[in-house]
């Protein structure tokens, strides 16, 4: 079979149907890619759960279970790529659990602290 015959037997390209997409209250009529249609939907993160946004080593823990913290208070120091990053309390509350210890290496998305 020649290349000409192979290309002649291919299915013609069909554009996806037009769909409505709402962004910030504005509605757009567009064609959505399959990658966009199959994506994981965004969910609001739980403010009472503090996770590591980058992998690193716990250098210092400045709170203990049962401590009352205010939003913005430093809770621990996570060293990553030779930089010391203060992990701050996202909201005020009481420390329920601390899931790390000094010197521990943590991966990205590791649960660090839970607040009540």
93: domain CATH number?
2.40.50.100
Is residue 31 situated within a structural domain? no
Asked, for residue 2, whether it belongs to a domain, the answer is no
pLDDT exceeds 80 at position 2: no
Q: Comparing 14-18, 64-68, 74-78, which segment has the lowest mean pLDDT?
A: 14-18
Residue 11: inside a domain? no
Q: For the chain, what is the total number of helices (H) and then of strands (E)?
A: 2, 10
Range of the domain at 107: 49-115
Confidence band of 37 (pLDDT split at 50, 70, 90): confident
User: What percentage of residues in the chain have a pLDDT greater than 70?
Assistant: 91
Could you read off the pLDDT of 73-95 as tens digits, one per residue?
Answer: 999 999 999 999 999 999 999 99
Residue 38 domain-assigned (yes or no): no
DSSP state at residue 7? H
Number of domains in the chain: 1
For residues 19 and 54, give the distance between their C-alpha atoms in angstroms, rounded to a whole number: 37
Question: Does any domain span residue 26?
Answer: no
State the pLDDT at residue 15: 81
The predicted model scores a pTM of: 0.68
């Amino acid at each position: 079979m020649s290349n000409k015959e192979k290309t002649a037997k291919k299915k013609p390209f069909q554009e996806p149907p037009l769909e409505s997409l709402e962004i910030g209250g504005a509605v757009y009529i567009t064609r959505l890619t399959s990658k966009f249609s199959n994506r994981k939907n965004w969910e609001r993160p739980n403010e009472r759960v503090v996770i590591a946004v980058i992998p690193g080593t716990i250098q210092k823990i400045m709170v203990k279970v049962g401590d009352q913290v205010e939003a913005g208070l430093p809770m621990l120091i996570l060293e990553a790529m030779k930089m010391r990053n203060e992990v701050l309390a996202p909201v005020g509350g009481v420390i329920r659990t601390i899931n790390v210890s000094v010197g521990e290496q943590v991966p990205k998305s590791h649960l660090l602290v839970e607040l009540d």
